Amino acid sequence: MNKVSDFLTYNLDIIGTIILIVSLFPIIKLMKELPPGNFRKWWGVMMALILFFIIGYIYYAQQHHYNSGFTQNAIIPYILFFGSIFVYFATTLSLRTTQDIKRIYTLEIENSTDPLMGICNRRHLNRILNDEFLKAARYSIPLSILMLDIDFFKKVNDNYGHDVGDMVLINLGTLMKELCRETDTVARYGGEEIMIVCPLTDSQKVVNLAERIRQKIESAILVPADVEKGITEVRITVSIGISGYTHDISSVENLVKRADMALYRAKNEGRNCIFFCDGTTPETVLLEKV
* Domain ranges across the chain: 2-112, 122-289
- Cα dihedral 209, 214, 215, 219, rounded to 10, equals 140
How far apart (Å, rounded) are the C-alpha atoms in residues 249 and 258? 10
The per-residue pLDDT for 64 is 59
Q: Which of 185, 277, 261, 171 is nearest to 216 (CA)?
A: 171
Look at the chain and count its residues. Answer: 290
SS3 254: helix
Model-wide pTM > 0.75: no
Identify the active-site residue in 33, 108, 192, 288. Answer: 192
Beta strand spans in the chain (E): 143-150, 185-190, 193-199, 238-244, 274-281, 284-289
The per-residue pLDDT for 1 is 43
pLDDT tens for the chain, residues 1 to 290 = 455 455 555 566 677 778 777 877 877 877 777 667 666 777 777 777 777 777 776 776 666 555 554 444 555 666 666 667 777 777 776 777 777 777 776 666 667 889 899 999 999 999 999 999 999 999 999 999 999 999 999 999 998 889 999 999 999 999 999 999 899 999 999 999 999 999 999 988 999 999 999 999 999 999 998 877 777 899 999 999 999 999 889 899 999 999 999 999 999 999 999 999 875 444 445 565 65
Quick one: residue 230, left, alpha or beta (phi over 0 = left, psi -120 to 50 = alpha)? left
Q: Please check whether residue 197 is in contact with residue 184, taking contact to mean a CB–CB distance below 8 angstroms.
A: yes
Q: Please check whether residue 58 is in contact with residue 17, taking contact to mean a CB–CB distance below 8 angstroms.
A: yes
SS3 256: helix
Q: Among positive and negative, which fits the CA dihedral 185, 186, 187, 193?
A: positive
How far apart (Å, rounded) are the C-alpha atoms in residues 67 and 197? 75
Our answer to whether residue 192 is catalytic in this structure is yes
SS3 172: helix
CATH class for the region spanning 122-289: alpha beta
Residue 3: CB atoms within 10 Å: 8
- The radius of gyration computed from the CA coordinates of the chain, to the nearest angstrom, equals 31
Can you give 23-74 as a three-state secondary structure string? HHHHHHHHHHHCCCCHHHHHHHHHHHHHHHHHHHHHHHHHHHHHCHHHHHHC
Phi first, then psi, for residue 259 (nearest 5°) are -65, -35
Q: Please check whether residue 119 is in contact with residue 220, taking contact to mean a CB–CB distance below 8 angstroms.
A: no
